[in-house]
Amino acid sequence: MTLSKYFHEKLYKNLFEKTWPLWLGGILIAFLNILMFLYLMPLGGIYPAIADWGIWIYRLAGLNITPPWGTLTPPHLSIISILNFGLIFGTLISALLSRQFKLRKDSTAGYIQGFAGGALMGIGSFLVGACIFGGFYSSIMSLSLSGLYMMTGLLTGAFFGGKLMIWQAFREADKMEFTELVDLKTVPEIKVKRVINYPLIGLFVTIILVITASVYFLTGKNVLGGILLFGAAFGIVFQRSSFCISAGFREAFTTKHNEPMRILLLSLMIGTLGFTIIKANGFRPADMFILPAGLHSIIGGAIFGFGMVITGG
């Protein structure tokens, strides 16, 4: 067996042609979060980064808006933005290498619902002060009461969002009509589309990622380079295992399939144990990533939970 064939059969196929088990994704995400907590900080900051990007767009349009949290850091020097860029890089690379990259279209109603769900998630994040990763996932691992508060809200929002999704599903089913079999001769000939070598594009994007991280390391910005690679690792695991926090809440109220929630709880248990050991040994302050808890956490979580379910993720 040649080296290239061995690489394809033993490594590439196992990593990118086979779907990773959901439980493996949950465990890997927990351990990655523990390692990144040791490195600098836990997973979080999706909401602040998007807010920063929005302010930069406003400024490009001539509107001088100042962020409420202080000085606006350029995206290429912002730790939170770099983490998000890494997530996008990793998810894109994984989708390309596994030949699962595709631009999908939706109906007008689907786009409107997606926009509405995204807006609700933004409002919920603003009220909580963090997104679902920082306000729920990493907060619970940090033993922050705010994480449990947000979880209560997420359960409430996911319940009503699930009811809406079930109603929509039954409504669409009622509209469906069974028609007679068509004559195959009348079916238009399907044109064969040109096959795109997605793995090759994925390899090219991977090289760009490595070069970008190397530039950060070589210019003394080691923290940014490391966070970029951590974000890419998270993105790859999310894409390959389909580990999704939203699915854990959604499926519990729609399909009654509780495996995603069980895996989510397992991931939280592993992460909480790891975070506790790190704090107990003084590697990180005991109050690190302890967010304010209150009614705003529950209300924000409920709005976010409803939005994430109707959006689909």
Q: Is residue 283 part of a domain?
A: yes
User: Do the Cβ atoms of 230 and 37 come closer than 8 Å?
Assistant: no
Q: Is residue 182 part of a domain?
A: no
**What is each CA distance from 26 to 46, 117, 225, 238, 271, in whole angstroms?**
19, 25, 24, 9, 10
Write down the number of H helices and E strands in the chain.
13, 0
Digit-coded pLDDT (tens) for 217-276: 999 999 999 999 999 999 999 999 999 898 899 888 888 888 999 999 999 999 999 999
* pLDDT score of 12: 79
Q: Is residue 201 part of a domain?
A: yes
Token pair for residue 14? 């196992």
Helices 79-97, 198-218: axis angle to 10 degrees equals 150
* pLDDT score of 190: 59
User: Do the Cβ atoms of 44 and 134 come closer than 8 Å?
Assistant: yes
User: Do the Cβ atoms of 300 and 233 come closer than 8 Å?
Assistant: no
Q: What single letter denotes the amino acid at residue 73?
A: T
For the entire predicted model, the pTM comes to: 0.88
User: What's the domain range around 146?
Assistant: 23-47+79-101+109-175+195-311
* pLDDT score of 93: 95
Tell me the torsion sign for CA atoms 71, 76, 80, 85.
positive
Alpha-carbon distance of 49 to 187, in angstroms, equals 49
* pLDDT score of 231: 95
* pLDDT score of 56: 83
Token pair for residue 71? 């000085």
Q: Is residue 59 part of a domain?
A: no
User: Do the Cβ atoms of 31 and 278 come closer than 8 Å?
Assistant: no
Q: Is residue 185 part of a domain?
A: no
In the chain, the number of structural domains is 1
Q: Is residue 55 part of a domain?
A: no
Q: Is residue 37 part of a domain?
A: yes
Alpha-carbon distance of 287 to 79, in angstroms, equals 21
Q: Is residue 206 part of a domain?
A: yes
Biggest alpha carbon distance in the chain?
74
**pLDDT < 50: residue spans in the chain:** none
